[in-house]
Amino acid sequence: MRVSVVILGGGGHARVLADALALDEGVAVAGVLDADPARRGSHVGPYEVVGDDSCVPALMERGVTHFVNGVGSVADAARRRRVFERATASGLLPLSVVHPTAFVAASARLAGGCVVLTRAVVGSGAIVSENVIVNTGAIVEHDCRIGPHAHIATGAMLGGDVTVGEESHVGIGATIRQGIHVGRRAVVGAGAVVVKDVPDNTVVVGVPAAPASPG
């Protein structure tokens, strides 16, 4: 029995997810919903944008049980979190997506609605919370703890035992040394090398990473 799914959001991140979903024979995508009326009738991969979120109840009546959060995030995870929470509140179940070229250790734990994309790695004993993006080629090493709604961006590398707080963003190609704790709603800039803990609500950039100067 295939799981009937709706993709919420029809932009670039949704297209990445559509590519992964199209490879999963256990999933049937009923369509895409997007808040922008201009996207109506366009396609996200092979899937048509059939309306906006007001269509969720009708889709559920037609047997859709799960959703995939196609709204990505960069520094600010608030929009993505809102989409996730509204969809779960409507009764849809969050579907996790793991690209077939990704490696997720048998002892790792993925919560609902997280995505592990092309050639990404989630190591032994790692815990990835709900609505997290482990983006293309990112490495989440053994025993890492990734909080809800966080984004580990393309090519980022986290050593063993790293923790990343909820809604935090680890930028493209950033490196976080093993054992480091990144707080909540923090941003690690692209290419940064983090060798000291990062407090909540802090932006760090550079090599070695240091708080970004305001302005």
Comparing CB distances to ligand JB2, the nearer of 142 and 192 is 192
Q: Which of 69, 73, 163, 168 binds ligand JB2 (CB under 6 A)?
A: 73
Comparing CB distances to ligand JB2, the nearer of 54 and 213 is 54
Q: Is 72 in the site for ligand JB2 (CB under 6 A)?
A: yes
Contact region for ligand JB2 (CB under 6 A) — 69-77, 96-104, 110-118, 192-200?
A: 69-77
Residues 160 and 172: beta-carbon distance below 8 Å: no
How far, in Å, CA of 206 to CA of 166, rounded?
22
Kindly write out the interface string for residues 1-40 of this chain, putting x where it contacts ligand JB2 by CB under 6 A and - elsewhere.
-------xxxxxxx------------------xxxx--x-
Q: Is 75 in the site for ligand JB2 (CB under 6 A)?
A: no
Please tell me whether residue 105 adopts helix, strand or coil conformation. Answer: coil
Q: Is 60 in the site for ligand JB2 (CB under 6 A)?
A: no
Q: Is 164 in the site for ligand JB2 (CB under 6 A)?
A: no
Q: In what order do the strands lie in the sheet with 27-33?
A: 43-44, 47-51, 27-33, 3-8, 66-69, 93-94
Comparing CB distances to ligand JB2, the nearer of 79 and 196 is 79
Name 175's Cβ contacts closer than 8 Å, sequence gap at least 6: 156, 157, 192, 193, 194
Comparing CB distances to ligand JB2, the nearer of 33 and 102 is 33
| DSSP type of residue 198 | B
How far apart are CB 54 and ligand JB2 at their closest, in Å?
A: 10
- DSSP notation for 113-157: T-EE-TT-EE-TT-EE-TT-EE-TT-EE-TT-EE-TT-EE-TT-E
Contact region for ligand JB2 (CB under 6 A) — 20-28, 58-66, 68-76, 206-214?
A: 68-76
Burial 28-38 (b: 16+ CB within 10 A, else e): ebbbbbbeeee
Locus of tokens 């369509």: 31
CB neighbour class for 107 (10 Å; exposed up to 12, middle 13-18, buried from 19): exposed
Q: Which of residues 82-141 bind ligand JB2 (CB under 6 A)?
A: 83
Comparing CB distances to ligand JB2, the nearer of 70 and 165 is 70
Q: Which residues bind ligand JB2 (CB under 6 A)?
A: 8-14, 33-36, 39, 52-53, 71-74, 79, 83
